[in-house]
Structure 1
Amino acid sequence: MSSLLRVPAPAKLNLFLHVVGQRPDGYHLLQSVFTFIELYDYLDFTVRSDGVIERQGQTLEGLTAENDLIIRAARLLQHHTGTTLGVSIQCEKHIPAGAGLGGGSSNAATTLMALNRLWGTGLNRQQLMDLGLQLGADVPVFIFGRSAFAEGVGEHLQAVPVPDLYYVLLKPAVSVPTPTIFRDKGLTRDSKPIIITDFTGYQTQPDADYHQSVAMFGSNVLEPVACKYAAEINDLLLSLQKRKLHARMTGSGSCLFIAFCDKETATRQSIQLCGTILHEQPMVQKSPDIQVVKGLHTHPQYNWLTEFGD
């Protein structure tokens, strides 16, 4: 074995998420703005010469090789390129599962980017994005590597400016399966489509407060459906609204976020929330995990890939 590499895989936030239609095959057509945050899983890769792909160390309970996105990503790249090399992979988890933070998709994307480098397979960004889409709709944005306006099932991406922000993350001790949310008959599937300038124009209005303008653009139409299945999410949102804090769910949840312009304000607010929020939520047996993270404009491995068509 040789060529050990340790790589961070960042979490993502959906600043808004609209469903604008549904394809005949059942896939939902989305519009969203993705941005990355400084909350990472860490993946260790050790190249093998025998072609074996294996996952070492702790894995999520019940996770098999067939549904492990890390293993599937490695096998997909190996099969696509015909390389005879293999890899041993360990993952140190910090991004909570079932949170809408994209940990699994990020791990898959990081695996593709890291092994493309370690195995010397030489695929460019677009080629890796096309492979990533076979693993999941959120995988391509991590390979795209910039804050992005997303359309289609999430594969049509355009870079979009997002201001420097800090986010208070609040993760309730509950999750709702993504398929359950998308199957729900109450899900709004006909949001009015927007164009990218709607978002960029809204956040740069002359007197706009970035805390409000970024966090309040549009909505996450999955949020009310998640609240229907998980009272903890609904109660947490109501508690934050009482404080006049505009919180939003990311992805299919259950994590909520609040945007702030500076670290000091975000930290002060997180401390206040840690001290009082459980008291206001008598139904909740376990208080939500609360932390402050910084937004990222680009993925840590962005410069590892050549651009489209190179």
Structure 2
Amino acid sequence: MIKNDLKNYISPLKLNLYLHLINKTCDGYHNLESLMTFCDYGDFISIKEEKDFSFTIDGPFAKNLSKTENIILDAVKLLEEYAKFKINVHIKLTKNIPIASGMGGGSSNAATVIHCLKDLFKISIEKNTLDSLLFSLGADVPFCFFRKTAIVKGKGENIEFLSSKIPELPVLLINPLIEISTKKIFEGVRLSNQNKVDNDIDFFNSDLFFEGLNNRNNDLERVAEIICPTIKEITSLLKTETNSKLVRMTGSGATCFGIFNNLSDLNKADILINSVFKEIWTKKTKIINKI
């Protein structure tokens, strides 16, 4: 019997509060360490059981997305192969965040769909198998699936959840509406120039949280600034002309963000950024430790 219930889910965007590259593996990938969290914003996914499968996309950033080559379709196929039955649903993706923006949109979409379909069809998956399935879709998919602030290590498969919450403060997201290739960013990285993680300093449970973050980096940011100089212009303006606690690029870019103590400082920064940059996307949101 087909259930007619329409289920709506947020597919939250992720932020890399710091991202350090540790080394390059023999297969050409990089081991990293990153403190990752979520924001109270993202894409929306609607799922309804139907007689056949269908997939549609709408929203402000739907235009350049393929309806036939999409990570959501990969996620559905993967779950079908595991469960050994056809999943007949209509999935609608409302794409609210820019494409190739460093906010993990596609990874979050795939993780959200797996989460929803697993619950909807009561598909039981042993944890090690689930971890493997999620990682096969993409390095950020496991973190996005578990939806909780964590330190992510390795290629993305090692997730260490924090024992306490980080401050859930206002965040301004800024994207220059320029897509950046993750592959191109990693190809431009020179590991000898990177700052290594000092694991002897534990700032997560202290008043030194933002001081600790400001002593760390996103090791991809320097390469991204060469490809897209607007990134440097945005971060420099946030650092010098606003009351930001932390300014950084997330992921491989080109989205930058500023974290603020209060909404007043957030609003002032938003007005400033939009007065200086005309071709830009901004969003006022806040950090969420767990979705």
Moved more, 24-33 or 264-273: 264-273
Residue matched to 1:172? 176
Query: What amino acid is the match of 2:66?
Result: L
Structure 2: gaps (5+ residues): none
Q: Pick from 272, 278, 281: which aligns with 1:289?
A: 281
Q: What displacement does 1:192 show?
A: 2.2
1:1-310 mapped onto 2 (5 Å cutoff): 2=3, 3-49=5-51, 52-58=52-58, 59-61=62-64, 63=66, 65=68, 67-123=69-125, 127-160=129-162, 161-186=165-190, 191-195=195-199, 198=201, 201-206=202-207, 208=208, 212-213=210-211, 215-243=213-241, 245=244, 246-275=246-275, 277-278=276-277, 286-299=278-291
Kept in 2: contact 1:112–1:128 (CA 8 A)? no
Deviations 1:3-46, CA, capped at 9 Å, x for gaps: 42111110000000011011111111010011000112111112
Residues 76 and 34 from structure 1, CA distance in 2 versus in 1: closer, same or farther, beyond 3 angstroms? same
TM-score between the two structures when normalised by the length of structure 1: 0.83
Deviations 1:277-296, CA, capped at 9 Å, x for gaps: 23xxxxxxx34222211111
Q: Distance in 2 between matches of 1:64 and 1:183?
A: 29
Q: Distance in 2 between matches of 1:215 and 1:192?
A: 13
Task: Give the count of matched residue pairs.
Answer: 282
Deviations 1:135-168, CA, capped at 9 Å, x for gaps: 1000000112210001000110011231222111
Identity value in percent: 28
Moved more, 4-13 or 266-275: 266-275
TM-score between the two structures when normalised by the length of structure 2: 0.88
Q: What displacement does 1:274 show?
A: 2.7
Kept in 1: contact 2:31–2:153 (CA 8 A)? yes
Kept in 2: contact 1:172–1:289 (CA 8 A)? yes
Q: Distance in 2 between matches of 1:48 and 1:129?
A: 28
Kept in 1: contact 2:172–2:285 (CA 8 A)? yes
